[in-house]
Amino acid sequence: MPEKIIIDTDPGIDDMQAIFLALLSTEVDVLGITTVFGNSGLDNSVANALRLVETAGRPDVPVVRGASRPILLPPRPGAPSIHGADGLGNAADRLPKPKGKAIGQNAANFIVETVLAHPGEVTLVPIGPITNIALAARLEPAIISKVKRVVLMGGSAFVGGNASAAGEANLYNDPHAAKIVFEAGWPIVMAGLDVTYRYLLGEDYLDLVSSLGNPVSDFMKEVFVFVRQRMIEWNSREAVPDLHAVAYLIAPELYTTRRLPCYIETEGRTAGMTVVDPRPPARRNEVIPEIDVILDVHAEKLRGLFLQRIGAFGK
């Protein structure tokens, strides 16, 4: 049976690829897409999510409007240098306009109602700031024991941050929400920067995706115009951080994980830092929750999986 999931997202160029993979894979059943501030603001997150489900031929998947700002902190700026002002590489004007609308419910309520309707079956897959997940847990703590697991893109066990020296962007954007989620008590799998830097793609990958010749690949081809320019300007290859949270659910055998005690810093220069404490439990003066941290991936097999799923669309 496919694993029931809710994707919580701020689409996002890497979110785009993760969501398309989920929508085109039979291993997962996407019950809904909840949206959050992050890469380019909540309005863009909603519009982009609608574009993605419609382009993938899945307008039946509900898109839900979520949090527009962190729980405690002032609103965070987006990431136009990475995702463009619109979240999709400044390609929104060249992409199909969304026909549908977000459903008339907020994300936290949607998460609570969906989890309670399928106790023990729903995996939450946050690939943006995890504010909606924290709000849902605070709204109805009973869901904590009824969520199957949380598989998130965020954090960094051993390689430092990207939004700051210590903080990975998704957790840095709302560290207080991250603290709530990491301390809640549900099973967590963290696909953070450790595995992100193990899967870097060049222009040959962009060429292959762009040449697949279907509505999904054509959509990505437009977005990749911005990616190509950025790769040249930065002299870098393309990371696809959010892809790993979804790909792990579809093909866990491609990944290497390690169980580690981890907690979240919320203040100062280290806000959003995922602190791994490898000391023996007897040497700690507190109980630190343990999570499964993804550390590596079989990059070539993942690349092949993604190309196969996108290429099969419409056939």
Q: Which of the four pLDDT bands, split at 50, 70 and 90, describes residue 287?
A: confident
pLDDT value at position 315? 81
Mean pLDDT score, 180-203: 97
Q: Token digits for 99?
A: 């026909």
The answer, yes or no, to whether residue 49 has pLDDT greater than 80, is yes
In tens, the pLDDT along 254-275 reads 999 999 999 999 999 999 999 9
The answer, yes or no, to whether residue 207 has pLDDT greater than 80, is yes
Name the nearest CA neighbour of 178 among 192, 159, 198, 160.
Answer: 192
Taking the C-alpha atoms of residue 5 and residue 52, their distance in angstroms, rounded to an integer, is 16
CA distances from 77 to 41, 81, 175 (A): 8, 11, 15
- Is the peptide bond prior to 12 cis by the omega test (within 30 degrees of 0)? yes
For helices 13-23 and 42-55, give the axis angle rounded to 10 degrees: 40
* Residue 97 phi, psi (nearest 5): -75, 140
pLDDT value at position 244? 98
- Whole-number mean pLDDT of the chain? 96
pLDDT value at position 260? 95
Q: Which residue has the higher pLDDT, 87 or 285?
A: 87
* Contacts of residue 88, Cβ cutoff 8 Å, sequence gap at least 6: 11, 12, 13, 16, 48, 51, 95, 223
Taking the C-alpha atoms of residue 257 and residue 190, their distance in angstroms, rounded to an integer, is 9
Taking the C-alpha atoms of residue 78 and residue 55, their distance in angstroms, rounded to an integer, is 24
Class of domain 3-311: alpha beta
Catalytically annotated residues: 10, 244
- Percent of all residues in the chain with a pLDDT value above 70, rounded to a whole number: 100
The answer, yes or no, to whether residue 282 has pLDDT greater than 80, is no
Name the nearest CA neighbour of 293 among 92, 146, 159, 106.
Answer: 159
pTM above 0.85, yes or no: yes
pLDDT value at position 117? 98
The answer, yes or no, to whether residue 90 has pLDDT greater than 80, is yes
The answer, yes or no, to whether residue 194 has pLDDT greater than 90, is yes
Q: Which of the four pLDDT bands, split at 50, 70 and 90, describes residue 286?
A: confident
Q: Give the residue extent of every domain in the chain.
A: 3-311
